[in-house]
């Protein structure tokens, strides 16, 4: 379900922002992210802009958004 690249902007609060398919639900995004990165997701927020649907993914305590960013080459 994850498509595109994450935003370069890592927000405080252990969050990452990704572009996702417009048809993807929050549950689908959460499941795909947990399976792909072997982490636990606390919350998924979505919004739609002209450039596509964005998902802000907040990780549960004990998991690092910075580490995931480094694994995928954002940092």
Q: What pTM was computed for the model?
A: 0.79
- Give yes or no for residue 48 having a pLDDT over 60: yes
* Structural domain boundaries enclosing 31: 2-72
Query: How high is the pLDDT of residue 5?
Result: 45
Q: How far apart are CA 14 and CA 66, in angstroms?
A: 8
| Between 4 and 57, residue with greater pLDDT | 57
Q: Which residue has the tokens 């998924």?
A: 44
Residue 26 bridge partners (DSSP): none
**Residue at token pair 């417009």:** 22
Counting the structural domains of the chain, the total is 1
Q: What is the pLDDT of residue 10?
A: 46
- Distance set, CA 58 to CA 42, 50, 63 (Å): 6, 23, 10
Q: What is the pLDDT of residue 44?
A: 97
Residue predicted with more confidence, 73 or 30: 30
The residue-averaged pLDDT of 16-38 equals 96
Average pLDDT value over all residues in the chain: 86
CATH number of the structural domain spanning residue 10: 3.30.70.330
For tokens 């910075």, name the residue. 66
Q: List the structure tokens of 7.
A: 């935003």
């Amino acid at each position: 379900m994850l498509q595109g690249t994450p935003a370069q902007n890592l927000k405080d609060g252990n969050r990452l922002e990704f572009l996702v398919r417009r048809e993807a639900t929050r549950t689908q995004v959460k499941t795909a992210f947990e399976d792909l990165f072997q982490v636990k997701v606390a919350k998924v927020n979505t919004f739609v802009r002209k450039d596509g649907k964005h998902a802000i993914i907040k990780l549960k305590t004990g998991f690092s958004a910075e580490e995931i960013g480094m694994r995928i080459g954002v940092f």
